[in-house]
Amino acid sequence: MRAFLILITLALPALALAQDKIRQIPPDEWEEMTEGRTVYYYIGQEYFGREYYLPGSNAVRFEHVSGQCLEGVWTHLEESFAYCYRWPGDTPCFLHFEEGGETLIQPVTPTGEPTGSSLQRVERIEVAPFTCGPAVTS
């Protein structure tokens, strides 16, 4: 029993450090990271789509993996730190996180509560706008 307690005592600081590695990205930092850039999203290992943040505005363009494109605007909600994206017919909200050098987004309600949907991984952010066109099929 004593050996077990010693192991638990030694493991607690490591667990605390692991939890500290998840950091919410502040709104001003997310805006700086994305303005005028394209963000590529994945759910697990599956490509989901990409999003372009038009410079100098809150306009955003999203292209789903299917090729469907949407034009919309984002709004930052001060009280919950959530970003909500107003697309035709839908307004999803997200929180942005960093963990071990990886950027993640969590679908949330406008009040910042998780929706139960999967975390999405940001594969890369690049300075390259895109225009929408017909889906490419192979």
The pLDDT tens digits for 88-134 are: 888 999 999 999 888 898 999 988 898 888 778 888 888 877 877 65
Instruction: Give the pLDDT confidence score for residue 134 in this predicted structure.
Output: 54
pTM confidence score? 0.73
CB 54 within 8 A of CB 36: yes
Select the CATH number that applies to the domain covering 23-126 from these four: 1.10.3470, 2.80.10, 2.40.128, 1.20.120: 2.40.128
Burial of 6 (0-12, 13-18, 19+ CB in 10 A): exposed
Quick check: helix, strand or coil at residue 20? helix
Among residues 115, 91, 95, 113, which one has the least CA distance to residue 104? 95
Encode pLDDT of 63-72 as tens digits. 999 988 999 9
Mean per-residue pLDDT for 70-86?
A: 89
